[in-house]
Structure 1
Amino acid sequence: MAKKSMIEREKKRERLVAQYAAKRAELKEIANDESRPMEERFKARLKLAKLPRNSSATRLHNRCQLTGRPHAYYRKLKVSRIMLRELGSAGQIPGMVKSSW
């Protein structure tokens, strides 16, 4: 189980990303538009830099929905490998059976 503070920090980042997504996309579009004047593009870059760092989507890290584990994460199921194995063994994931030979 991951520390509660890390799980909460990640949730806060997700909220910030959602909150600033439209503004960030708009500023990026202005900053990358070659047809606009250089000053306007530079001002857009400065405004982009003033936004909170945690509002950037690249700072998000996938975590297991059940334990908060950041490593060995299965995107399709949103769980870690450990929980995948436990849930699969318990028969809670449709179509998954524990192999035995």
Structure 2
Amino acid sequence: MERSNREYTIGAVEDFMLQIGRVVHAGEVELAIFRTSDGAVYAVRNHSPHPKGGPLAEGIVSGYYLYDPLHDWKIDLRTGEVQAPDRGQAEVYPVTVEGGVVKVTLPAAVTTLN
């Protein structure tokens, strides 16, 4: 039997300050939520793709890019792709904003990660 994606309500859009990361939990998954200067909202697993790891929520946002707070890797919030010369992939998840309510969708396999 195949498990479906799971949608989580994570707050109101005004709960997320522009260009400032915020940690939220969706099930057992810790996410870093970012709202860009144009009001778009992005969800990234709060774990750096750098080999030494670390949190992403305290990173600096510029445009659609997140700068890893510990390793200064530049991560595209839209795709999770780490920009050259570094290489890696952050886990990003779809976000919807309906009526001022922010929701994130996680694949069923991800909802049980620690």
Give the greater-gyration-radius structure (CA).
1
Q: Same fold judged by TM-score > 0.5?
A: no
Richer in helix (by share): 1
